[in-house]
Amino acid sequence: MRFTQTIAVVTGAGSGIGRAAALRLASEGAKVILVGRTRQKLEQTANAINGKCRIPMAEVFTADCTDGEDISELAEYVLQRYGDLHVLVNNAGGSRNARILEMTETEWDNVQDVNLKSVFLVSKALGNIMVEGAQHVDGNRAIVNVASLSGHQAGAEIPHYSAAKAAVINFTRSLALELAPYGIRVNSVSPGFIETPLTEQGLKNERFVRAIQKNTALQRVGNPDEIANVIAFAASPEASYMTGSDLLVDGGWLIK
C-alpha cells in the first residue's frame, strides 16, 4: 500500500496503459482521478476500481488534454475538491501512420498536440498545485510521463509520433530540474511494443508479431500491467532518489 492518503491524476485512463496504471495506483491505496475525452471508457475504468473497494477510490473527469481551458477546469476541480495532488501520470497520447513527404500539417499538429502539448498543459496546471502543496506538507510527490520506445529511435511510418515522444523525454528532464527544489520528482517511462488499443490493429498481423518476437530479446509483446508496474515504482517513495530519468521498458528491443 505505497499510495495510502495519495491523490493521483491519470490522463488517458480509459484504456490501455492509462487504465492499467490507474488500477495499479488504486490497488495500493491511491484516490485516482481518471481523465480523458471519452466518459464511457473512463467510467468503465472507474467501475473496475470501485467494484473492488469498500469506498469509491476512482472518479471521472472528462477533459481534452490538448485544450487549455479544459485543463484549467481540471486543476480547479482538483484544488477545490482535494486541495492537493501527490501523483500525476501523463499518459494521454496516440498516433496514426503517415510518412513525412505525404503528411499533412493537420496530421503533424494533431499528433504533437495529443502527445506533447498535453504533457505541457497538464504538467503546468497540476504542477502548480503540487508545488503549493509541497511548500506546506512533506511527502512524496511525483510526475510520471509516458513516452515511448519510439522516442529513442526513428519510425518510418510514425515520424510525428517519434518526434513528439523524444520531446517528452527531454521535457521530462527540464521539468525535473525545475521542480527538484520542491522535492517533486519527474521521470518518464518508455514502453516498447505493448498490447493496447493503439497497437491492436498491427498486432493482428502475424508477420508483424513475428518480427517483434524476433527483434525483442524477451521474444514477446508486453502487456499494460507490465508498464503500470514501472509507473507505480517511479511514482512511489521507492524511487525517492530518481528524477529526470527515462525508464525503457521494451523487452530488450534496443539491445538486439
Residues serving a catalytic function are 161
Helical H segments across 82-158, by residue range = 105-112, 118-134
Per-residue CA distances from 149 to 165, 194, 204 (Å) = 8, 10, 20
pLDDT at 217 over 90: yes
- Which amino acid would we find at residue 129? I
What is the C-alpha to C-alpha distance for residues 83 and 79, in angstroms, rounded to an integer? 4
What is the C-alpha to C-alpha distance for residues 87 and 144, in angstroms, rounded to an integer? 8
Per-position DSSP letters for 1-18, written without gaps between them: -TTTT-EEEEESTTSHHH
Structure confidence by residue, pLDDT tens digits, 150-192: 999 988 799 999 999 999 999 999 999 999 999 999 999 999 9
In a domain, 208, yes or no: no
Averaged pLDDT, 92-106: 94
Containing structural domain, residue 142:
7-194+223-249
Averaged pLDDT, 131-155: 91
Residue 198 pLDDT grade (very low, low, confident, very high; cuts 50, 70, 90):
confident
Determine the pLDDT at residue 45. 98
In a domain, 217, yes or no: no
Averaged pLDDT, 193-202: 87
In a domain, 200, yes or no: no
What is the C-alpha to C-alpha distance for residues 199 and 155, in angstroms, rounded to an integer? 14
Query: Exposed e or buried b for every residue in 212-230, given b needs 16+ CB within 10 A?
Result: beeebeeeebbebebbbeb
In a domain, 126, yes or no: yes
Averaged pLDDT, 245-252: 98
Number of structural domains, the chain? 1
Averaged pLDDT, 80-92: 97
Closest CA to 226 of 200, 191, 183, 176: 191
pLDDT at 35 over 90: yes
pTM: 0.96
In a domain, 201, yes or no: no
Determine the pLDDT at residue 53. 80
In a domain, 254, yes or no: no
What is the C-alpha to C-alpha distance for residues 24 and 29, in angstroms, rounded to an integer? 9
In a domain, 134, yes or no: yes
Determine the pLDDT at residue 200. 82
Is residue 145 within 8 Å of residue 234, measured between CB atoms? no
The most distant pair of C-alpha atoms in the chain lies apart, rounded to whole Å, by: 55
Domain at 239, CATH number? 3.40.50.720
Residue 55 pLDDT grade (very low, low, confident, very high; cuts 50, 70, 90):
confident
In a domain, 125, yes or no: yes
